[in-house]
Amino acid sequence: MAAAMSSENSLSKLPGSPKMQLGPRKMYGVMAVLVCNLCEQMTYYSVMANLILFCTSVLNYSSPEAATISLVFSGTVLFINVAGGYIADSLAGRYNTILGAGLIYLIGLVMIPVSSVDYKDVFGRSEDGSALDMTVEARRVYFLGGLVFVALGTGGIRANIGAFGAQQVQGLGEQAVQSFFNWFYWFINAGALVAFSGVAYLQQNNSWVWGLSVPFFSMSLALAVFVLAKGTYRHTPPAESVLTAVFSVWRKGCGHFDKVRKTKGGPYDDVTVDGAVSVLRVIPVYLLMIFYWVIYSQMQSTFFLQSERLNIKIGDVKIPAAMLAIFDILIILVFIPLVDRVIYPLFRRLGHPLKQLQRMGVGLLLVGGSVVTAGVVEVYRKQVMSGRGAVIQVLGDEKFNASSMSVLVQVPQFAFVGASEVFASITDPWFPDDINNGKAEYLFFLLGGMMLVNFISFVFVARRYTYTPLPTEVSDAEESDAEVSDAEDQTEEGARVTTGKPSDTT
């Protein structure tokens, strides 16, 4: 409730022109989008939180196989984002795409718990005395099939929910849209916080069935809130896809983009042409950001494997191995209001506003620090184990040979990732089935060194990048539907430079 009130006050009382006020009806629509986003994020991260542990303890996958499934699943969501955006832009519209994706989502959220049920307790035994249960192969089919539907659903929603929310404050100026995205991202992490703490604890220490059923209920709530606010939303009809327009401008204007402008007798207005040219200019920046997300993805893969092999007991309580991710989230929840209200305004008052690429550069350095820290932790973890500091611990009915070092030694590496997200937003031979026998620290140090090289390349590109100013206000009386769509895409693209996880911003 406190988060919702803070967001509402932030959005409804923004400084600037007299137009920058949201009435109660529109504010209800904005809040519905934010709550829907919170519930969807809780759903997604409840599935992701213990995915590796479920794969190894219930589905009998090896640790490298489980890490691969986790990375493929999260990576697939990114590609589906592109399709989800295209469908919304050119065919169904954002509202219908979000709703349709949510219904697909629910199919997967039914299949995943089905893969965890102990059917011996449900059906007992057959006449010959054999237990009536689902085979491991069948469980894998249901689980992996469920992940496919979840990926389709979350990809379709995440491609559009942020843009749809920003659409509701369109016309209030750049600051209003930026503020919406800041709070939108805050709600993302609030949902993830619940998933990595409460839901992950339920899954690891109590019941896979109930723990994997929670996502179904949270997604159902998300859709209910979203649909009930339908009458308050500002809708724009589907038109030409942004992707189609951009590729067309590139093809027809190859070598000389001015010739495709309407003022020069071409088919496209200046906004569309300028946008297509801007995409070309920003591609090197985003290519260099790919490696950022490679390191970011270690939280749900290699960092988790490391957590399983550290002492997860805090006193007499076995915390979820997935719970370390909340330190990434807590840093974000604290830092976003801080940078939004204190740090960035301070730099503006000093006459040195931090540009988007400068913020992203800070994020690159911080995320590089996370894997270097993880490498140091890995070295000491194995040293403690070799010196008779090993313990046997059970997570999700699976036994692990772990170090007696507290899992809390991982807090700094997760905090580095969280701090990096505020500014920016693999399985290989070093990871055998038991990482105690591998060289995970080499991977972490390699990633850190590669990020340093990546950062130097990023600085080179950023210093040569020319910023295009965004429009600060659009009059409702002046804009046509087509102009609204074009302005949304520009504003959305600018806001996305500094906010969002990979699957939230594609």
Confidence band of 129 (pLDDT split at 50, 70, 90): low
Closest CA to 160 of 496, 399, 497: 496
Extract the tokens encoding 396.
């999700």
Token look-up 């102990």 returns 118
Return the minimum-mean-pLDDT range out of 58-67, 69-78, 388-397: 388-397
Q: Give residue-wise pLDDT tens across range 341-356.
A: 888 888 888 888 878 7
Is residue 445 helix, strand or coil? helix
Reported as half-sphere exposure (CB side, CA atoms, 13 A), residue 311 has a value of: 17
Q: What percent of the chain has pLDDT over 70?
A: 79
CA 332 to chain centre: 13
Q: Give residue-wise pLDDT tens across range 228-246.
A: 988 888 888 887 677 777 7
Residue 179 has pLDDT above 60, yes or no: yes
Considering only residues 243 and 143, tell me which one the structure prediction assigns the higher pLDDT. 143
The rounded distance, in Å, linking the Cα atoms of 420 and 403 is 28
The rounded distance, in Å, linking the Cα atoms of 234 and 248 is 28
The rounded distance, in Å, linking the Cα atoms of 67 and 83 is 25
The rounded distance, in Å, linking the Cα atoms of 461 and 50 is 38
- 8 Å CB contact between 232 and 477: no
Strand partners, 318: 313
CA 238 to chain centre: 25
Residues 6+ apart with CB under 8 A from 383: none
- 8 Å CB contact between 382 and 436: yes
Q: Give residue-wise pLDDT tens across range 371-415.
A: 999 999 999 998 888 887 788 888 877 888 888 999 999 999 999
Considering only residues 432 and 116, tell me which one the structure prediction assigns the higher pLDDT. 116
Q: How many residues does the chain have?
A: 506
CA 425, 426, 432: angle at the middle one, nearest 5? 140
Give the mean model confidence (pLDDT) for residues 164-173: 80
Q: Is 124 exposed, middle or buried (0-12, 13-18, 19+ CB in 10 A)?
A: exposed
Is residue 269 helix, strand or coil? coil
The rounded distance, in Å, linking the Cα atoms of 447 and 431 is 14
What is the predicted pLDDT for the residue at 389?
78
Longest dimension (CA), the chain: 83
The rounded distance, in Å, linking the Cα atoms of 72 and 76 is 6
pTM attached to this predicted model: 0.72
The rounded distance, in Å, linking the Cα atoms of 230 and 215 is 23
Extract the tokens encoding 363.
């994020």
Considering only residues 431 and 335, tell me which one the structure prediction assigns the higher pLDDT. 335
The rounded distance, in Å, linking the Cα atoms of 375 and 413 is 10
Is residue 256 helix, strand or coil? coil
- 8 Å CB contact between 34 and 169: no
Contacts of 280-286 spanning 24+ positions with Cβ under 8 A = 280/250, 281/465, 281/466, 282/465, 284/461, 285/357, 285/360, 285/458, 285/461, 285/462, 285/465
Residue 255 has pLDDT above 70, yes or no: no
The rounded distance, in Å, linking the Cα atoms of 9 and 181 is 14
Give the mean model confidence (pLDDT) for residues 142-165: 92
Q: Which one-letter DSSP state was computed for residue 406?
A: B
Is residue 47 helix, strand or coil? helix
- Domains and their CATH numbers in the chain: 1-12+20-120+133-239 (1.20.1250.20), 245-468 (1.20.1250.20)
Confidence band of 107 (pLDDT split at 50, 70, 90): very high
Residue 477 has pLDDT above 60, yes or no: no
Average pLDDT of the chain, as a whole number: 78
What is the predicted pLDDT for the residue at 22?
59
Residue 199 has pLDDT above 90, yes or no: yes
